[in-house]
A and B are shown apart, each in its own frame.
Chain A
Amino acid sequence: MNIVVCVKQVPEVSDADLEINRKGSDIDREDLEFEINEWDNYAVEEAVRLKEAHGGHVTVITLGDEDCEDVLRQSLAMGADEAILIDEDGFEMSDAAGIAKGLHGVVKDLSFDILLTGVQSSDNSWGQVGLILAELLGLPYASLVVGIEMGDGKATVFRELESDTQEKVELPLPAAMTVQTGINTPRYVSILGIKKVRKIKIKETDADELNLSEDEIGAEGSCVTSRKLVIPSIGGAAEMLTGSLDDICNKAAQIIQDKGGLV
């Protein structure tokens, strides 16, 4: 069984003090660290587990620049067999459709049974790339997948719905799915693991090779244009407490008491 997984590199922002760049087009990426998009990490793990259980071949694809090699190497270390990098600056400012078109350029020529992406990416959070890609490929599609069982020529898939309910659907193969976090526990990738896959050659391609013209990708090829990124201003109800730890605690306790939270 062959599986293709599309992954993305994202900035790790959970503990960073984010700043917007001067043009307002993006966050300031200077001091940030980068990692594989969390949802995609689950997708790679799921692909590797399916391969371990049923045999086959896992290919990971990403779209970006040389720096994105890291996420591909990590996926290889997890157990993927092959990695493809679409090394192209032209995708900057693309919306979900633009990205999906780029990925489509590669995926359409691959033979596979399952195409996986994460449900969404942590930076742009469109949650659309997988869907558009499935549409471009004309594949049946399931979103928010939290369980995959393989059958003969078909897959039984569990989708996460509201408040702990799940929907069980059956898809004929080949099919596309977007993977939800929690579907598995992604394995730890050791440094030795990454060093061991150093010799695997990553295939590189770009828009030219994929016959994508300039007006198909980037801002030109997008339906949605991002105007400006803003950090919401601090609202009136919010108050920043300052001072030493003890001061802050005392003030916080006082506020809670004043508002009737502590009796």
Chain B
Amino acid sequence: MIPFRVSYWHIQPVWIFYLLAIATLTVLGLGIAIHVSVWRKGIKRQSVSFSLKDIFKVIKEGILGTRIFKGDVAAGTMHGLIIWGFLILFVGTLALSADYWMFPFLHGSFYLLYSFCLELAGLMLITGLIWALIRRYVQRVPRLERRFEDLLVPVWLLAVAISGYLAEGSRLGAQSPEWAGWSFVGYGLSHLWSGQKEAMSAYPWFWWLHALLSMGFIAYIPFSKLFHILAAPVSIYLENQPLQIIPVESREEEVFSYREAIFFDACTRCGRCVEVCPSAGAGEPFTPRDFIAWAKQGLLTDYHLLNSVDRFKNWMEQRGTENGQFDASKIWHCTTCRACLEVCPVYVATPDAIRSARSKVVEQGTEMPDLLARSLKNVYKYHNPWEATKKKRAKWASDLDIPNLTKEADGNRLCYFVGCTTSMELRAQALAQSFVKILNHAEVPFGTLGKKEPCCGDIARRAGEDGLFEMKMEDCSDLFQSCGIQDVVTSSPHCFHTFRNEYPPYMTLREPDEQVSFRVRHYTEVLAELLGKGSLKFENSLGLKVTYHDPCYLGRYNRIFDAPREVIRAIPGVKLLEMTHHRENSLCCGGGGDRMWQEEMDGDPKMSEIRMQEAAATGADVVITACPLCLIMLEDALKTSGLENKLRIMDLNELVAMALELK
């Protein structure tokens, strides 16, 4: 006899099954509709364009799950077993329906292969699920939470898989087809029953149990973290889609963009972000995962489809308050260091969402952190956060004879954009002074904007004060345009990032004659270029062991990891030692995201102190960095953590100037 598959064998009445299936799909559909309606309530202006590359990315990272392996092979394998087991069984079930309803193809040796594969898939699924439970409840992997749903989901799915095997086993026991051995697990289980009759009477029970558990599980998907099955592929696809810029004046009431709403739904609470978040790591009352959960719950409470029903709304609000200790005052902890995004399997852009949440607080005005409010007012009034008058801006250079590009416009000269902090803060001024000496030494024609130099707007941007950011952007662009500035180099990775990545999308919204485009580089790139050209010749050996701290906005945001390292390695007698966290895994100094301009909300030890401990552990004499904020934060930490006698902090410019013996 040719092997074949029977469907609904001895299952009566089948119509109940169909009724239940329709009910399941209805609940699933309603659940999806709820999520989609919430997404649609987000800020809408986000055009999504077709990209084949991103579709491949979804297949590779979402379905093959490659991104989950990154940094955690065990988690990747565990998840792979579950997703592949689940997908094969799912497709197998679809094939069965097709076989029954459309065209029979499950027979002969193909059917045997099919049975064998499904059998394997079931085993994969069960192994993966048990592994998942062990990781969470036995091994107790620290980043994993243990909420009710975290237990319910794997146990339920396990019950689905086991009941499936039992249904199959009893069927095989009752039918005893000669090909039963291909379904090796079911065949093994078929011996549980002493005879065909016993198996026959058990079979419908297991069949129905399996059917009910499976349908229930499908209906449960949109109401649990399982919804990531649907949302994660979308969020992975959206990752590379350019963010649409909405000028503040045309914004609506909504807080989050719909892209962010999708990100929140894709989050599985896996906790990888918590592991790398410097704020959470320093014991501050903040984690990106809690923020996401809070933001997601907020969206649901505000925009749920059933919100017109009062009782439901109250219940949602109740759930919101139970959900956790997170509240809006905590959003200021994030340093926007982007470490979370680097590891998130589904690309939840926490720093962007944090900015959106901050925007709302800024516009409302009453819950702003005092010091930050003051710094923003300073940016508005003084064009810098340091409350320094214009005269003070150029003071650092009073002994240096630097051409002023606002007085003698010269488009051929490199414009050195010093930045607020570097101009005003005593420790950071050394960065600028050294850089100027190096440029002079290398005979690069350059100039600065003197006391007319505006603020680039980074501080406003990070605070979500986009009106102020737009204003500063206009100041800068207009000045660059009137002075014919084409080529800019910055001290700070923050100004650099703002110019390079945040101005251009806004420019497209301006009138054609007001659109300003210029080349912008960070000083590390300029140093590397000068080195390449042979303009920096180091003659003396320094005999130093150094380690390099990657600033977030230079490294993670702009992928400049090699330029500073090339420069360091080129200096004779300098040995570069790497810290545990380096390059894209660098640990934030704690000064970004406007933390520099806020009340202390540090943990103990502070982020910067943790960083300095790590630097000290390399055995280096000097920590090199390439950002004025890092310089200040780390210098401070050096004093507070008692490492003053062991370590020194230098900006890369200072190291180069020292190696060149520039006075």
Interface residues of B in 366-405 (CB under 8 A from A): 366, 368, 370, 373, 376-377, 380-382, 387-391
Contacts of A33 in B (CB 8 A): 381-382, 389
- B362 in contact with A185 (CB, 8 Å): no
- B381 in contact with A188 (CB, 8 Å): no
Contacts of A188 in B (CB 8 A): 362, 365-366, 368, 373, 376-377
Q: Shortest distance in angstroms between A73's beta carbon and chain B's nearest beta carbon?
A: 13
Contacts of B377 in A (CB 8 A): 35, 188
Complex: how many Å from CA A35 to CA B376?
14
Asked whether B465 is an interface residue with its Cβ less than 8 Å from the other chain, the reply is yes
- Known contacts A15-B388, A31-B389, A245-B426; A189 and B248 CB within 8 A of each other: no
- B363 in contact with A193 (CB, 8 Å): yes
Q: Shortest distance in angstroms between A210's beta carbon and chain B's nearest beta carbon?
A: 31
Asked whether A190 is an interface residue with its Cβ less than 8 Å from the other chain, the reply is yes
- Known contacts A15-B387, A15-B388, A16-B389; A190 and B381 CB within 8 A of each other: no
Asked whether B471 is an interface residue with its Cβ less than 8 Å from the other chain, the reply is yes
Interface residues of B in 265-323 (CB under 8 A from A): none
Asked whether A192 is an interface residue with its Cβ less than 8 Å from the other chain, the reply is yes
Contacts of B249 in A (CB 8 A): 192, 195
Chain B count of residues within 8 A CB distance of the other chain:
28
Interface residues of A in 165-219 (CB under 8 A from B): 185, 187-195
Q: Shortest distance in angstroms between B456's beta carbon and chain A's nearest beta carbon?
A: 16
Interface residues of B in 330-365 (CB under 8 A from A): 362-365
Contacts of A189 in B (CB 8 A): 365
- B365 in contact with A78 (CB, 8 Å): yes
Asked whether A14 is an interface residue with its Cβ less than 8 Å from the other chain, the reply is yes
Complex: how many Å from CA A195 to CA B363?
12
Contact of A190 among B382, B389, B467 (CB under 8 A): B467
Contact string against B for A residues 23-35, beta-carbon threshold 8 Å, 1 for contact and 0 otherwise: 0000000011101
- B381 in contact with A31 (CB, 8 Å): no
Asked whether A81 is an interface residue with its Cβ less than 8 Å from the other chain, the reply is no
Complex: how many Å from CA A188 to CA B159?
55
- A191 in contact with B389 (CB, 8 Å): no
- B387 in contact with A193 (CB, 8 Å): no
Contact string against B for A residues 215-248, beta-carbon threshold 8 Å, 1 for contact and 0 otherwise: 0000000000000000000000000000001000
Q: Shortest distance in angstroms between A109's beta carbon and chain B's nearest beta carbon?
A: 31
Q: Shortest distance in angstroms between A192's beta carbon and chain B's nearest beta carbon?
A: 4
Asked whether A65 is an interface residue with its Cβ less than 8 Å from the other chain, the reply is no
Contacts of B467 in A (CB 8 A): 190-195
Complex: how many Å from CA A191 to CA B381?
12
Asked whether B635 is an interface residue with its Cβ less than 8 Å from the other chain, the reply is no
- Known contacts A191-B468, A192-B466; A31 and B365 CB within 8 A of each other: no
Asked whether A12 is an interface residue with its Cβ less than 8 Å from the other chain, the reply is yes
Contacts of A78 in B (CB 8 A): 365
- Known contacts A33-B381, A185-B370; A192 and B389 CB within 8 A of each other: no
Complex: how many Å from CA A195 to CA B391?
29
- A191 in contact with B248 (CB, 8 Å): yes
Which has the most chain B C-beta neighbours within 10 Å: A190, A193, A194? A190
- A191 in contact with B465 (CB, 8 Å): yes
Contacts of B470 in A (CB 8 A): 191
Contact string against A for B residues 585-620, beta-carbon threshold 8 Å, 1 for contact and 0 otherwise: 000000000000000000000000000000000000
- With both beta carbons as reference points, the residue of chain B lying nearest to A49 in the complex is identified as B366
- B381 in contact with A187 (CB, 8 Å): no
Q: Shortest distance in angstroms between A195's beta carbon and chain B's nearest beta carbon?
A: 6
Contact string against B for A residues 1-38, beta-carbon threshold 8 Å, 1 for contact and 0 otherwise: 00000000000101111000000000000011101000
Complex: how many Å from CA A17 to CA B362?
32
- With both beta carbons as reference points, the residue of chain A lying nearest to B383 in the complex is identified as A33
Which has the most chain B C-beta neighbours within 10 Å: A32, A35, A191, A245? A191
- A12 in contact with B365 (CB, 8 Å): no
Complex: how many Å from CA A12 to CA B467?
23
Contacts of B389 in A (CB 8 A): 15-17, 31-33
Complex: how many Å from CA A8 to CA B213?
72
Contact of A192 among B248, B387, B390 (CB under 8 A): B248
Contact of A191 among B373, B382, B387, B471 (CB under 8 A): B471
Complex: how many Å from CA A3 to CA B389?
36
Complex: how many Å from CA A244 to CA B380?
31
Contact string against A for B residues 509-525, beta-carbon threshold 8 Å, 1 for contact and 0 otherwise: 00000000000000000
Complex: how many Å from CA A14 to CA B468?
23
Complex: how many Å from CA A191 to CA B469?
9
Complex: how many Å from CA A15 to CA B385?
13
Complex: how many Å from CA A33 to CA B383?
11
Complex: how many Å from CA A32 to CA B389?
8
Contacts of A35 in B (CB 8 A): 377, 381
Complex: how many Å from CA A82 to CA B388?
33
- Known contacts A189-B365, A192-B249, A192-B467; A31 and B390 CB within 8 A of each other: yes
- With both beta carbons as reference points, the residue of chain B lying nearest to A194 in the complex is identified as B467
Contact string against A for B residues 460-474, beta-carbon threshold 8 Å, 1 for contact and 0 otherwise: 000001111011000
Q: Shortest distance in angstroms between B468's beta carbon and chain A's nearest beta carbon?
A: 5
Contacts of B382 in A (CB 8 A): 33
Q: Shortest distance in angstroms between B369's beta carbon and chain A's nearest beta carbon?
A: 9
- B365 in contact with A193 (CB, 8 Å): yes
- A190 in contact with B391 (CB, 8 Å): no
- With both beta carbons as reference points, the residue of chain B lying nearest to A14 in the complex is identified as B387
Contacts of A192 in B (CB 8 A): 248-249, 251, 363, 466-467
Contacts of A16 in B (CB 8 A): 389
Interface residues of B in 62-120 (CB under 8 A from A): none
Complex: how many Å from CA A134 to CA B362?
36
A-B contact pairs, 10 of them (CB 8 A): A35-B381, A187-B366, A188-B362, A190-B365, A190-B467, A192-B251, A192-B363, A192-B467, A194-B467, A195-B249
Q: Which residues of B contact A (CB under 8 A)?
A: 248-249, 251, 362-366, 368, 370, 373, 376-377, 380-382, 387-391, 426, 465-468, 470-471
Top 7 nearest A-B pairs (CB, nearest first) are: A191-B467, A187-B365, A192-B467, A188-B368, A188-B373, A188-B365, A33-B381
A sample of 15 more A-B contacts (CB under 8 A), given A16-B389, A191-B465, is A15-B387, A17-B389, A31-B389, A32-B389, A33-B382, A187-B368, A188-B362, A188-B377, A189-B365, A190-B362, A191-B467, A191-B470, A192-B251, A192-B466, A194-B467
